[in-house]
Amino acid sequence: MVEENFFRERVEKFQQLMRENNIDASMIRTLSSFIYFTGVKWLRPALLIPAEGEPVAFIFEYEADEFKEKTWIKNVKTWRRTPELMGSVTKAIREGNYKRIGFDYSVERDSFVLFFELFKKLNPKVEVVDVHALIMKLRMIKDAKEIEYIQKASNIAVKGITSAINTIDTNVSETEIAAEAIYTMMKSGSEHPHVYVNVGPKPRVHAEPRSNVKVKPGDVINIVVGADFNNYHSNMSRTVFMGTPSEEKREALETMIKVQDLAASSLKPGVKFIEIEKKIKELVEKKGFGKYYVEGFVHSVGLLIEEDPITTIVVQHRRYEAVENMVLAFIHAPLTIPGIGSIKCEDTFTVKADGVKKLTEYEYEISK
């Protein structure tokens, strides 16, 4: 059983935000926010949080007993078929006489567009509003327990990237490198590890491992790993050279290390990410790599491996300010250099009152 007071306080803070924004209730379908408020991971999540009163969870009938054992939520309504779930949600909204309903507009596992569209059809008189920003206002600032979990996830991530790097050899495929990292992380307690591997001179921003891409002499290999512990994530990346790197490759790596140092020394509470982004662009342009830099140097980590602020994807997030107890991963944006590959150094940090603290420790200059 999770600590009731701990999660009830989160719900109450969210309810206060709803009341301030004239929202009668919110329907939580995104898995990460469901975990945030209930304390448990449950697939096909459905949680109705009214602005006043107790939240209601909608759970598959034969899973209800286990759900009640693991969470603090007392009000649980069961269903056996999807139409019963939709009907039960609609009935609760009508009985509560809710007129403005919040939805977490986010794309995650089990956050179905189909459910959303059907919800609107079944509740034509209800105004649906986006509460994603209200939820993330709470989630962006981590408490001590969340940071403890992210530190443990970071320790697992280091083990994963160590296994990946140790696997690298001539004729080894991207999938083989990824498989060793995933195996190590899952053996260490990670339930949802994620690995990108980009081998060779063709850069890919999101490098899902490919079985037909194998390591050759002189290649650049970029590895990105994400690990989780108790639903909280960490993210890191390293670049490996096969053999002695050329001067251009070494300069690219040294530039990325300097970029990370620049960000780490500049990030303090009250500093806007856009201010650091401008400094980074000036640095990479001065070093001659400006056209290879993908903008958006930082994102948060927590119940998702990438969550708000996500400066690579959402340009508006670049104007957010760093806040104490944020947990951030940077440098997220790589140098994508045709003929060389992807050059990237990324670690997970906590924002402290006077700067940042690195949670993922591993060497940067790696040759095989």
pLDDT at position 175: 98
Q: What is the pLDDT of residue 111?
A: 52
Local structure of 204: helix, strand or coil: coil
Task: Using only the alpha carbons of the chain, give its radius of gyration.
Answer: 22
Position 1 scores a pLDDT of 55
Q: How confident is the model at residue 77 (pLDDT cuts 50, 70, 90)?
A: very high
Does position 211 have pLDDT exceeding 70, yes or no? yes
| pLDDT for residue 359 | 98
Mean pLDDT of 231-260: 97
| pLDDT in the model for residue 2 | 65
Task: Assess contact for 98 and 30: CB atoms under 8 A.
Answer: no
Structure tokens at 192: 């949802």
CB 356 within 8 A of CB 329: no
Model confidence at 196, pLDDT cuts 50, 70, 90, reads very high
249, pLDDT greater than 90: yes
**pLDDT for the residue 106:** 76
**Confidence tier at 266 by pLDDT (50, 70, 90):** very high
Q: Assign 162 to helix, strand or coil.
A: helix
Is residue 124 predicted with pLDDT exceeding 90?
no
Mean pLDDT over residues 126-140, rounded? Answer: 94
pLDDT for the residue numbered 114: 64
What pTM was computed for the model?
0.93
CB 93 within 8 A of CB 49: no
For the cut 80, the answer to whether the pLDDT of residue 224 exceeds it is yes
Cα–Cα dist 318/283, whole Å: 18
Find the range with the poorest average confidence among 1-5, 58-62, 215-219. Answer: 1-5
Question: What's the pLDDT at 110?
Answer: 55
How much is the pLDDT for 104?
86
pLDDT band at 212 (very low <50, low <70, confident <90, very high): very high
Q: What is the mean pLDDT of residues 91-116?
A: 80
How many whole angstroms separate alpha carbon 193 and alpha carbon 157?
8
Output the CA–CA distances (angstroms, integers) from residue 114 to 34, 60, 94, 294, in the order listed.
Answer: 18, 18, 21, 33
pLDDT in tens, 301-332: 999 999 999 998 889 999 999 999 999 999 99
Q: What is the pLDDT of residue 241?
A: 98
Least confident span in 4-8, 122-126, 342-346: 122-126
pLDDT band at 367 (very low <50, low <70, confident <90, very high): very high
Percentage of the residues of the chain whose pLDDT score is greater than 90? 85
Q: Looking at residues 75-88, what average pLDDT do you find?
A: 89
Q: Tell me what the mean pLDDT of segment 348-364 comes to.
A: 97
Both structure tokens of 199:
């081998």
Question: What strands, in cross-sheet order, belong to the sheet with 56-60?
Answer: 75-79, 56-60, 47-50, 25-28, 100-103, 127-130
Q: In the predicted model, what is the mean pLDDT of residues 191-207?
A: 95
Beta bridge partners, 51, equal none
Q: What domains lie within the chain, and their CATH numbers?
A: 4-139 (3.40.350.10), 144-367 (3.90.230.10)
Predicted local distance difference test score (pLDDT) of residue 126: 87
